Structure 1
Amino acid sequence: MSTDPWDLLDAASTVVAFHAHPDDEALATGALLTALTARGTRVILVTATRGEEGEIVPGTVADGEQQPLEEIREGEIAAATAALGIAERHWLGTAPALAPDAAPRRYRDSGMQWVRPGLAGPADTAGEDSFTHRPLDDAAADLAALLQSVQPDVLLSYDDEGTYGHPDHVRAHLVARAASELTDVPFVQVASDPQAAQEVREHPGTAEAVHRALSAYRTQLTVVDPAPASDPAPESIPIRHVGGQDDAVPLATGLRPLETSA
């Protein structure tokens, strides 16, 4: 079997994508997941937390709103995944992404703080029920249960840099790696730095779907352009994060080479 990550994805009929929070699937892998679903690949999304610690874009939640942020973000992820063509999604710790004989458990958003521009680090407020503080073995067993249930060809998640160092992203990498080892499902890593990628591929024709998915996350970000450009085809979707930072979500993906044991 090839260990080239793109060969594995090209041959896959079922892919499990594992992300830390609602919106990560669109920000980190939106174009890739759209391309996979468009060609008929079965994509199953597993999300570790409900993003309870996320900041809120001013004006997107009415004053006096009683609905908890996690419920709002559950609605956002439902709309976003529909836009990407993903029909199956689960929360880590809820069956079928739950270890056999284990009681259902929720992994709470660990939060983060900026260490320097572009690099996040752990927050001081993460509690015992946070994703980064709960036992790694529990989370790995929960993800492994889902993998054993659906028998995917590939498990897709972050590399060890966690895109920008968010502690939940780094934890997701460790959980995915452990679950891969438990089940022998190949682990394909999305490169945080394109320079570290084995190959970067563009995903033409995905701009509209990614634009709609990102637009669903009104509490977390703002899509700068009201509609995606069609001529010429865009290379990215410009956004503004909740903290006011301008960014561009690329319509291309770099994958890291698979790690193999000696």
Structure 2
Amino acid sequence: MSTDPWSLLEQARIVLAVHAHPDDESLATGALLATLARSGTRVVLVTATRGEEGEVVPGSTPEGDGRPLDQIRAQEIDGACAQLGIESRHMLGTPPALAGGGSPRVYRDSGMRWIREGLAGPAETAGPESFTKRPLEEATGDLVALIEQLRPDVLLGYDDAGSYGHPDHVHAHHVTAAAAERTRTPFLQFASEPEDPDFVWRELPGCADQVEAALRCYRTQLTVRGRDGERVLIRHVGGQDDVIEMRSGLRG
């Protein structure tokens, strides 16, 4: 089989995307996942945490809505997956993404703090149940269980920088790499930095409407500000403006 990352992806019948929180799949790989699904590839998503520690955009939930944030974000990710054409999604630690048939476990959002502009670090309040505090072997075993049932042709996940350095993203990279090695499944990493020359880049035209619709599902986490051609303009819950490009860089 070719080692070119895009050739591997084009030949894949089943792609398993591994992400850390609800909304990461749309922000980091929305265009890529939508393009794959549109081409007939079976796209499956596994998310490590429920995003319990996320901030919330003021006014994004109806007055009197007493649901905990993890339930609201579960509804948001379901809507986004439908827009992107993701066939099914799973939570790490919940069957079938659970090793050994034990009791389901929850990997909590580790939270984050800004170390400097553009670089995130773990929250000082991250407890022992947080994704980054749990043993690497535990999460790896749960991901291996899902891989062994699903038998994907390719795993898709973060590079070692974890997009903007969020500790849960970096940990998800290590978990995915370990599970890929154990199951001998090709692992394709998407680029954290635009134009990184270590990655092979492609434009992904024709999916901006889907990506915008998916992003609009995440009312608690971001605001869609509009479009600039094929680019979707957003504002994160923390007030940072961002541009979501319809392109992706991959490496094996």
Q: Is the pair's TM-score, using the shorter chain for normalization, greater than 0.5?
A: yes
**Residues 1:246 and 2:241 are matched in the alignment:** yes
**C-alpha distance in 2, partners of 1:222/1:101?**
40
Q: Give, in whole Å, the separation in 2 of the partners of 1:197 and 1:239.
A: 27
Aligned in 2, Cα 1:108/1:196: closer, same or farther, shift over 3 Å? farther
Q: CA deviation at 1:145?
A: 0.6
TM-score (norm. length: structure 1): 0.93
In the alignment, structure 1 segments of 5+ residues that lack a partner are none
Residue ranges of structure 2 left out of the alignment (5+ in a row):
none
CA distance in 2, matches of 1:196, 1:168: 25
Amino acid across the alignment from 1:161:
A
Q: Distance in 2 between matches of 1:108 and 1:57?
A: 20
1:154 equivalent in structure 2:
154
- Structure-2 separation of matches of 1:65 and 1:88: 27
Trace 1:66-85 onto structure 2 (pairs within 5 A): 66-85=66-85
Q: Distance in 2 between matches of 1:120 and 1:253?
A: 22
- Once the 2 structures are TM-superposed, how far is the Cα of residue 68 of structure 1 from its aligned partner? 0.1
- Superposition deviation, residue 66 in structure 1: 1.4
Structure 2 counterpart SS, 1:157: strand
Distance 2:75 2:191 in 1: 28
Equivalent position SS for 1:181: helix
Separation of aligned partners in 1, 2:199 and 2:132 = 29
Q: 1:1-262 maps to which residues of 2 (within 5 A)?
A: 1-193=1-193, 194-225=195-226, 228=227, 233-234=229-230, 236-256=231-251, 258=252
Match for 1:176: what amino acid? Answer: T
What count of residue pairs does the alignment treat as equivalent? 251
Which amino acid counterpart does residue 40 of structure 2 have in structure 1? G
Paired with 2:160 and 2:213, the residues of 1 have a C-alpha distance of: 29
How far 1:64 moved relative to its partner? 4.4
Task: State the AA in 2 paired with 1:90.
Answer: H
* Cα distance, 1:182 vs structure 2: 1.1
In structure 2, do the counterparts of structure 1 residues 179 and 155 end up closer, same or farther at CA, with 3 Å as the change threshold?
A: same
Most deviating of 161-170 and 198-207: 198-207
CA-CA distance at 1:147 after TM superposition: 0.5
Matched position secondary structure for 1:195:
coil
Distance 2:54 2:119 in 1: 16
Give the counterpart letter for 1:210 in structure 2. Answer: V
One-letter amino acid of the structure 2 residue matched with residue 211 of structure 1:
E
CA distance in 1, matches of 2:175, 2:99: 13
Aligned-residue identity in percent: 60
Kindly state the Cα deviation for residue 220 of structure 1 after the two structures are TM-superposed. Answer: 0.1
Tell me which amino acid in the other structure corresponds to 2:92.
Answer: L
Structure-2 separation of matches of 1:101 and 1:86: 26
Offset at 1:197? 4.0
- CA distance in structure 2 between the partners assigned to 1:246 and 1:166 by the alignment: 17
1:250 deviates by 1.0
Deviates more, 1:200-209 or 1:58-67: 58-67
Q: What TM-score, normalized to structure 2?
A: 0.97
CA distance in 2, matches of 1:67, 1:206: 32
Deviations 1:183-219 (A, max 9, x none): 0011100011131443111111100000000000000
